[in-house]
Amino acid sequence: MLVLLLLLFPGQVILESTDDVFVVGRVVVKARQTTARITTTTIHTSFYRAPVALLTPDDVTEASMWGDWGPNQQCPEFTFASAFSLKVENNQIMFDSTALNGVSLVCRAGRRHGSVVGNVTSTVAPWGKWKATRECLPGEFLVGMQVRMEGMSDSLLDNTATNDLSMSCEGGGVLNGGGEKWGSWGKWKRCPRGSAICGITTNVQEPQGPLVDDLALVTLRMDCCSL
């Protein structure tokens, strides 16, 4: 009963190394073997572009209360996102699964012959591995997103929040990031005509410690900037 209460009401225990395994319902909660920390990667810039629009999932307000918003990170001036990749913890079967842990936007300068100048991520959770980069056709930028999310009431014990992300390019092509399969797809969100995706802010739950359900990346929003 104690374990059930811990899973339903997360505490703020620091993750410690242990070999104990506890079984509750469909979840086996095993303490991870190393101390977990969230990270942030960014291109250091001294300016901020005011977005012409913010792309957000429909349930962003409700979901965001489970995590903390990281820094807004934008591609450098005159550059936009032309590709992306996801950091995903695959289905852990009998262990705690977190699904989507991070999103990386690849920033490109110019159109067909523009060069990649780096990537921006906002906050990234510690689990999982980076998937292959999904890239628009040469000369195109990303202009839309669709999020797959498991609602907080969809699973009694092992919630995963955001599971997958698809993005659309200027020419109409759709790129799926290759995330997990829990939850349902929300509506497409697209930048206004004459703009493209230029930045990202993620909402991530800190590692909750042994015996507590981790969510990792809870939700996100993206900036649209004028081309």
In a 13 Å sphere around the CA of 162, the CA atoms on its Cβ side amount to 38
Both tokens of residue 54? Answer: 């913010």
The domains of the chain are located at 2-226
Q: Are strands 174-176 and 184-185 parallel, antiparallel or unpaired?
A: unpaired
Both tokens of residue 22? Answer: 């506890």
pTM of the complete model: 0.75
Both tokens of residue 145? Answer: 């997103």
Separation CA 208–CA 90 (nearest Å): 19
User: Which class in CATH covers the domain with range 2-226?
Assistant: mainly beta
Contact present, 86 and 210 (Cβ < 8 Å): no
Query: How crowded is residue 120: how many other Cβ atoms within 10 Å of its Cβ?
Result: 25
Contact present, 24 and 157 (Cβ < 8 Å): yes
Contact present, 19 and 193 (Cβ < 8 Å): no
pLDDT of residue 20: 33
Query: How crowded is residue 88: how many other Cβ atoms within 10 Å of its Cβ?
Result: 25
- pLDDT tens per residue across all 227 residues of the chain: 233 333 333 333 333 333 333 333 333 333 343 445 556 554 545 568 999 999 999 876 666 677 889 999 999 999 999 999 999 987 766 665 678 999 999 999 988 778 999 999 999 988 889 999 999 999 999 999 999 988 765 445 657 788 999 999 999 999 999 988 888 999 999 999 999 999 999 999 877 666 656 778 999 999 999 99
Sign of the dihedral through C-alpha 176, 177, 178, 184: negative
